[in-house]
Chain A
């Protein structure tokens, strides 16, 4: 029996594979921007978030429990709320409106930093806290300064921290709400994989959306395989 919807789907898949196989420049451009935005956001979040998580984890201070609870809550921050919040700050009448960053890749990177940072801080904090107390005390007894102790402890927790970074990458590469609000969907400038999928699907053009969907799935597969490998290595060591 002929089913027009089925035919549409099959045709969409055929075209999607054709785009992938022929390395369509538009497709590659979108993938490149996605990787650039999420990659940069992740680097910045990791460079600032790992030491911050380590310091919070190692220090004892008043209100630490509260800080940890807040961080854990922020780990699940809804991307659209982050997008809205950043939009208000970056829009022309907002406090940072003069910089003209709205609808630019920079704004998108900022949004993803906000999403990745709590994950990296909270998971690094947990990783550092789980390092054996005797290890920390041994470093101290061997004459390490507090900076040297922090460095050692981060190094001891390296597999858990790598897992945290990968988890954060998985989250930002797949989110759509925040980048859509602050980045818009400007062809060739702010279109990333997720926003393109949303837009193209809306238009009823499935080929590009499907091709990008396949790429996203592949990335998610690689991310999970990476996590699995690191966890296995972490357990063994």
Chain B
């Protein structure tokens, strides 16, 4: 399969009940890179992620997926080349195994191939032993691991992660971060990860995009960004002085 999918957004705007949540967001995401979308709670990170991941439709602007410089139509075939993990795990009320295999099942993958792939991924996230257990009985950390495994089982080219460790303790956060490093960065997927944790962004990402009140304020290579934020508000956020 061709794996040259890239995504860019232009002038994205979105309002909920007359309140502007996103204002003219434009960005070209780099193929094979890990992007961290950082910013305070309520700055619009989740909304922007859902829009980029084709889960929600913006009021204005374009999300364009390119392949070899040609725009790709927003069909189900395109949607099946990308994936998203939400901040709530959104697990289905069934077994761990069936949760993990759902993406393959809806694509019509046969049972044998499904079983092999699910086994591989569940072993990597340490949930193979619990495959027959109901997903609802998992701990928060296990649930989030399953949510990530579930969206990686289909080997997406671009993956959106919304606060993958927001509600987890330090041990589970470290576990998830390792999984992200191993399964995503090392396979050269394009990643767009929202987080309000700037240290996590620093640990994991190649590029930082700073968001505040629905606008993209600043962006840059991770090291540059943390050393010399170009923008006053980004500086305030980094130094913990941003009052909102």
Q: Do A and B bind each other?
A: yes
Check if A134 sits within 8 Å of B86, measured CB to CB: yes
B103-139 CB contacts (< 8 Å) to partner A: 103, 106-107, 134, 136
Query: Using a CB–CB distance below 8 Å, which chain A residues touch chain B?
Result: 132, 134-135, 137-145, 148, 152, 155-156, 237
CA distance A6 to B93 in the complex (A): 56
CA distance A152 to B93 in the complex (A): 10
Residues of A within 8 A of B102 (CB): 139, 142, 144, 152
**Could you write out 19 A-B pairs with CB less than 8 Å apart?**
A132-B90, A134-B89, A135-B92, A137-B50, A137-B55, A137-B90, A138-B84, A138-B91, A141-B55, A141-B84, A141-B85, A141-B86, A141-B151, A141-B160, A142-B103, A143-B106, A145-B76, A152-B92, A152-B102
Residues of A within 8 A of B160 (CB): 141
B107 CB, min distance to chain A CBs, angstroms? 6
A128 CB, min distance to chain B CBs, angstroms? 13
CA distance A144 to B151 in the complex (A): 12
| A-B Cβ contacts below 8 A, count | 64
Check if B90 sits within 8 Å of A138, measured CB to CB: yes
B74 CB, min distance to chain A CBs, angstroms? 13
In the complex, how many residues of chain B place their beta carbon closer than 8 angstroms to a beta carbon of chain A?
A: 28
Check if B154 sits within 8 Å of A143, measured CB to CB: yes
Query: Using a CB–CB distance below 8 Å, which chain B residues touch chain A?
Result: 50, 53, 55, 76, 79-80, 83-86, 88-94, 102-103, 106-107, 134, 136, 147, 150-151, 154, 160
Check if A237 sits within 8 Å of B88, measured CB to CB: no
Residue with the greatest number of chain B CB neighbours at <10 A, chosen from A132, A135, A142: A142
CA distance A148 to B55 in the complex (A): 15
Check if A156 sits within 8 Å of B106, measured CB to CB: no
CA distance A138 to B107 in the complex (A): 15
Q: Is the interface of A mostly helix, strand, loop or mixed?
A: helix
Residues of A within 8 A of B136 (CB): 237
Check if A137 sits within 8 Å of B154, measured CB to CB: no
A139 CB, min distance to chain B CBs, angstroms? 7
Check if A148 sits within 8 Å of B106, measured CB to CB: yes
Residue with the greatest number of chain A CB neighbours at <10 A, chosen from B76, B80, B106, B107: B106
A132, A139, A143, A156: the one contacting B80 at CB < 8 Å is: A143
Check if B80 sits within 8 Å of A138, measured CB to CB: no
**Which residue of chain B is the closest to A132 with respect to CB atoms?**
B90
Check if A140 sits within 8 Å of B93, measured CB to CB: no
CA distance A148 to B103 in the complex (A): 11
Residues of B within 8 A of A139 (CB): 92, 102, 106
Check if A140 sits within 8 Å of B90, measured CB to CB: no
CA distance A156 to B90 in the complex (A): 11
A137 CB, min distance to chain B CBs, angstroms? 5
Residues of A within 8 A of B150 (CB): 138, 142
Residues of B within 8 A of A134 (CB): 86, 88-90
CA distance A148 to B108 in the complex (A): 11
Check if A156 sits within 8 Å of B93, measured CB to CB: yes
**Which residue of chain B is the closest to A142 with respect to CB atoms?**
B103
Residues of A within 8 A of B50 (CB): 137
B97 CB, min distance to chain A CBs, angstroms? 15
